[in-house]
C-alpha cells in the first residue's frame, strides 16, 4: 500500500512527546495526532499526560509494542513509561501480548470502551468517592471561625458539595448497571 510522502499534522495535534526516529513521516504524523487526541482527552479526566501519550502511541500502532518501542517513540523517561503501563494495565486500557519468539512483553490497547469505563469507575472513581466522604467530614468540622454570615455561607457550600458527592455515589451503581446492559 503506497504511503503519501507529505502529511501535515495540525500544530495542536503534536504534543512534543513524540520522537520521529527513522519511521516514515506519515506514520509519525498519525502517531502524533493520536497521542495529541488522547493527551487532550486525558486532560479532562485528570490523567497524566505521559499515561495518555503511552496509550495514544500503543493505540496508533497496528502491532503490539514492546517497552523499548514505546520508549523509542516517546520522549518520556523509562520510569514514567513503566508507571504509565502499570496504570494502563490496572484500568484495563492495555493488554499484554506475548510473542513466542521474544522475551519482551508487548502491549496492545483494549478497545472495549465498556470494560475501560467500568474499570475506571470501579478502581479510580469509587476510590475517590470513598475518600471524599471522609474528607467532607473533616472539612465540615474544620470550618474557620469567621463572622456568622461568612461561616453560614461556607456551611451552605459544604452542604452543596455533600449533595454533589451523594449524587455521584448514587449514580455509580446506575452507571455500572447501564454499562452491563449496553452491547459491546
Per-residue model confidence (pLDDT) at position 166: 87
Contacts of 90-98 with C-beta under 8 Å, sequence gap 24+, read 90/119, 90/123, 91/116, 91/119, 91/120, 91/123, 91/124, 92/116, 92/119, 93/55, 94/55, 94/58, 97/64
pLDDT over threshold 50, residue 10? no
Sign, CA dihedral 50-56-61-65, equals: positive
Phi, psi angle pair for 74, to nearest 5°? -130, 145
CA atoms of 25 and 29, how far apart (whole Å) = 6
Angle at 55 between CA 49 and CA 60, to 5 degrees: 120
Q: Per-residue pLDDT averaged across 82-98, rounded? A: 91
Per-residue model confidence (pLDDT) at position 11: 40
Residue that wins the pLDDT comparison between 4 and 122: 122
Residue that wins the pLDDT comparison between 129 and 184: 129
Taking only the tens place, the pLDDT of each residue in 26-75 is 999 999 999 999 898 887 777 889 999 999 999 999 999 999 999 999 99
Instruction: Judge contact between 42 and 65, C-beta under 8 A.
Output: no
Which pTM was predicted? 0.65
Taking only the tens place, the pLDDT of each residue in 100-116 is 888 889 999 988 867 77
The share of the chain scoring above pLDDT 90, in percent, equals 39
CA atoms of 108 and 57, how far apart (whole Å) = 10
Number of helical (H) and strand (E) elements in the chain, helices listed first: 7, 3
Amino acid at each position: 500500500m503506497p504511503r503519501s510522502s507529505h502529511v501535515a499534522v495540525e500544530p495542536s495535534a503534536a504534543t512534543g512527546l513524540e520522537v520521529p526516529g527513522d519511521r516514515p513521516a506519515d506514520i509519525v504524523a498519525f502517531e502524533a495526532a493520536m497521542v495529541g487526541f488522547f493527551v487532550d482527552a486525558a486532560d479532562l479526566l485528570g490523567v497524566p499526560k505521559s499515561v495518555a501519550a503511552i496509550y495514544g502511541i500503543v493505540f496508533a500502532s497496528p502491532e503490539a509494542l514492546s517497552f523499548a518501542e514505546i520508549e523509542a517513540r516517546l520522549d518520556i523517561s523509562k520510569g514514567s513509561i513503566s508507571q504509565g503501563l502499570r496504570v494502563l494495565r490496572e484500568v484495563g486500557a492495555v493488554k499484554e501480548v506475548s510473542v513466542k519468539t521474544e522475551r519482551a512483553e508487548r502491549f496492545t490497547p483494549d478497545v472495549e470502551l465498556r470494560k475501560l469505563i467500568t474499570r475506571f469507575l470501579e478502581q479510580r472513581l469509587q476510590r475517590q468517592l470513598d475518600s471524599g466522604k471522609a474528607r467532607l467530614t473533616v472539612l465540615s468540622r474544620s470550618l474557620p471561625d469567621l463572622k456568622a454570615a461568612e461561616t453560614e455561607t461556607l456551611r451552605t457550600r459544604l452542604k452543596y458539595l455533600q449533595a454533589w458527592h451523594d449524587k455521584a455515589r448514587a449514580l455509580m451503581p446506575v452507571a455500572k448497571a447501564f454499562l452491563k446492559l449496553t452491547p459491546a
